[in-house]
Structure 1
Amino acid sequence: MRVVGCVIFDGVRPFDYAVIGEVWANRGSRPGVPAFDLRICGPDGARVRFDGGLERVPDFGLDALADCDLVVVPGMQRPEEPSDPAVVAALRAAHARGVTLASLCAGAFLLAEAGLLDGRPATTHWAFADRLAERFPAVDVRPEVLFTGEGGLWTSAGVAAGIDLCLHLVRAAHGERAAAAIARAMVTAPFRSGGQAQFIPSPVPQPTAADDPLARVRTEVLAALDTPWTVRRMAALAVMSERTFARHFVATTGTTPLRWLLDQRVLTAQRLLEDTDLPVDVVATHCGFSSAVSLRPPFTTRLGVPPREYRRTFRGRDAG
């Protein structure tokens, strides 16, 4: 996934456009990161007016999407406005050719208008989720997640969740090291396991004491992922009841203790598959799975490929 197309059109959000550039534009040497070819594409090469008054002339027309491995659609501030038919047609054609498509924030409306999300899971900024579901009832709208996708079609929630999706796509195509290097350059977390639901009712609460029991639990769990952790066992470490522990954990991280644990186990398995020659069964048990068979379903769900295929793809790959 080296050739990336960014589709721009009137009303694009500058932040989303900037995120795509920060992740895939080459502005200097980044060890471990492939040399991406980022193409800024637009209708007929006409000047595009971004939301907020900025303007940009695309470097390529929409026909340049034909040679892309990935096409990313930024969000727009007013998704209820009609989309450019040429852009809709270009996205349909790219999908028909097998190109992976991804949208940030309200860009999901454009993929939905193209009919590409019918019967598929999709998300968008929580403030737009109801409108997306009402306008496109055939889409399985999931307002609680940061990003989701299947079958070469991906969507993300608003603002920072666009970064999460972009890094996920880099990680899936080029490995954990490449995604981590880009995240480091952007001074952002390479992986967040929470959901956007945590941002809807109130801000994420910050610890009020330096000695945070939940932080201690997470540290201990990460140091012993092969332990058969349960919510009861983690709650005991925090000296809390199970119900209190689970409630505080969700409020702090945006996800449940067991979902967080599964995410961390899969991430650790991913790193071991990239960096070691350990058999897949050993990797699985080291990360807390009973066998390679039990590792396969959650790993495949998150990365799109099973563990052995992931290792064949990334083990020893020169990302430069």
Structure 2
Amino acid sequence: MDTIIIGGGQSGLAAARTLLDAGLVPVILEAGDHATGSWPHYYDSLTLFSPARFSSLPGMPFPGDPDHYPHRDEAVDYLQRYADDLQVEIRTRTRVTSVEVDDAGGFIVHTANGDQLPTAGVVAASGSFANPYVPVLPGQEGFTGHLLHVADYRTPKQYAGQRVVVVGAGNSAVQVGYELAEVATVTLATHQPVQFLPQRIGGQDIHHWLTTTGFDDLPPEWLAQIADGTLVMDTGRYQGALESGLINRRPMFTAFDGDRVIWSDGTSESVDAVIFATGYRPQLDYLEPLGALDAGLPKHVGGISVTTPGLVYVGLEFQRSFSSNTLRGVSRDATYVTAPLAAHVRKAFAAFGG
């Protein structure tokens, strides 16, 4: 095989498209039943923060009104149609367990089905949804309430009338906290105050300005100097909910104690549920045999492995820019890593005796 792409979500599909355009023949290995990535598993009310016109992969515009904000299920349908239209081999229910270097300068990809698949190049596009990050606090194991990560949250119905703490200051935390506040008493527990970014500026959605100004292409190293935290896109309703008291915000609690949380001021409060919206970590354990990781994180520059020729990444958060792991931005990163990967597959080193 020219190249094996590990992961059949938006990152894997974008990579497949750019590899095809480069004249390579990729094969996608997807652990799930469909090539739609993590989208089917997000909470029921999830709505994209980018309008349809800014939520497309190359070659297939997102359907519907270009200015509408697609629902989770629309994204699932879109990715499935995109996968069907690609005309590449996609092996679903195929979980990769490890990747090893072979004697010919390529790789052997091992799967849970017992397959050993030789390939010249590997694209790690497995995302992070299956690896949610939950911080560990004192007393956490003994907490008697309901504790979960937002990856396991679906609907507010089961929390009606309850006292709920949502941990996090990002888009998911605020969106989930807002909808829970309709049926429950909700507090956002954050280390810093929530920072809002207007959804519309000058009559245009913020994504118009992110793309036309080039902000989407700024490298993470520059972004770190102009933004000191997570920004929540908001039409005004989320900020209004905090200002009106519909949602309460408090500094992050320090510990659990039975059915209670201990707040930073030393007071304690009984709560029914704590939902961590604390992000994810790359799901890349299968690359451990290559020595390509450092504490589970990839050693890379812009998605190109610095340890293993022929290995590239697509879909890492802030891989090259603010939009790296989004529908609108992932294809730019896929294009960036395709040229060196294609050179490796075509044995560019051999021309110089390598």
In the superposition, the TM-score normalised over structure 2's length comes to: 0.28
Higher helix share: 1
Greater relative contact order (Cα < 8 A, sep 6+): 2
Higher strand share: 2
